Amino acid sequence: MNLAEGVQLVSFAILAVMMIGSALGVVLFSNIVYSAFLLAGVFVSISGIYLLLNADFVATAQILIYVGAVNVLILFAIMLVNKREDFKPLPNAWVRPTMTAIVSAGLFVLLSTMVLVTPWAYSTESVSSDTTIVLIGQHFFSDFLLPFELASVLLLMAMVGAIILARREFLPDQVITPDKQQQPVLTLPERPRELVGISSDKTSNLDDSRRSE
């Protein structure tokens, strides 16, 4: 075993331990903010594993999109729904975790036997001389052109849909009469809200008024 393979094995082991540990933390921690930050750890270690697999572009995209966008979005969602609530205990609460653990362990055993038994057809060709960015770009603009364009349309649809869903809802008792003054065209009808005051006592009043709403 030469030096490069040893380094590869050691870094793979470190990244794997980091990834599995963080993933268990995401699932098992009771505080969801810890889970969100450990999710970033999972994404970063997966990006390191991509680097081990000679995929620099996808590793960068993983960091940028997952850690930079998705994880920040999840943190914002946690902040917006941040309510300390103790979930009502269910009857027979231990049944579901144990059953799920058994099923997950069984699935893992099944998958690992499949992985270890199957004779994989290893490619004997050496890595192509082009960088991965060039190869991926050639794929995107030749044989994957239609999915590439559809992905941009999908992102646009997701953006519009997320804005529509997350917007504050309409005022239900608002009657739109045509002879009243017309609303400006480019604003969406929303529930009117008070402006937040500068001083702290104002904000507490605002909270009270909002709670009474």
C-beta of 149 vs 194, nearer to other proteins: 149
Judge contact between 43 and 68, C-beta under 8 A. Answer: no
Burial label for 112, CB within 10 Å (0-12, 13-18, 19+), is exposed
**If residue 18 lies in a helix (H) or strand (E), which one and from where to where?**
helix 3-28
Q: What is the dihedral of CA 127, 128, 130, 133, to 10 degrees?
A: -60
Q: Which CB sits closer to other proteins, 54 or 183?
A: 54
Judged by CB under 8 A, does residue 169 bind other proteins?
Answer: yes
Question: Is 145 one of the binding residues for other proteins (CB under 8 A)?
Answer: no
Is 146 a binding residue for other proteins by CB under 8 A? The answer is no
Indicate which single residue of 91, 97, 178, 184 sits in contact with other proteins (rule: CB under 8 A).
97
Q: Which two tokens stand for residue 135?
A: 């190869």
Candidates 152-160, 170-178, 180-188, 200-208: pick the segment binding other proteins (CB under 8 A): 152-160
**Subset of residues 101 to 120 that bind other proteins, contact rule: CB under 8 A:** 101, 103-105, 107-108, 111-112, 115-116, 120
Helices (H), 53-182: 56-62, 71-80, 95-117, 132-141, 145-166
Per CB under 8 A, the segment of 132-140, 171-179, 192-200, 202-210 that binds other proteins is 132-140
* Contact between 47 and 15 (Cβ < 8 Å): no
Shortest Cβ distance from residue 87 to other proteins (Å)? 5
The smaller minimum CB distance to other proteins, of residues 79 and 183, is found at 79
5 sits near other proteins (criterion: CB under 8 A): yes
Using the 8-state DSSP alphabet, how is residue 171 labeled? P
For residue 40, count other CB atoms closer than 10 A to its CB.
20
Rounded to an integer, what distance in angstroms lies between the CA atom of residue 148 and that of residue 99? Answer: 41
Q: Which stretch binds other proteins (CB under 8 A): 160-168, 174-182, 195-203, 205-213?
A: 160-168
Q: Rounded distance, CA 106 to CA 160, Å?
A: 41
- Interface with other proteins, residue 40, by CB under 8 A: no
Binds other proteins (CB under 8 A): choice among 7, 10, 14, 53 = 53
Residue 203 beta carbon to other proteins: minimum distance, rounded to whole angstroms: 21
Beta carbons of 209 and 194 less than 8 angstroms apart? yes
CB of 159 to other proteins, least distance (A): 7
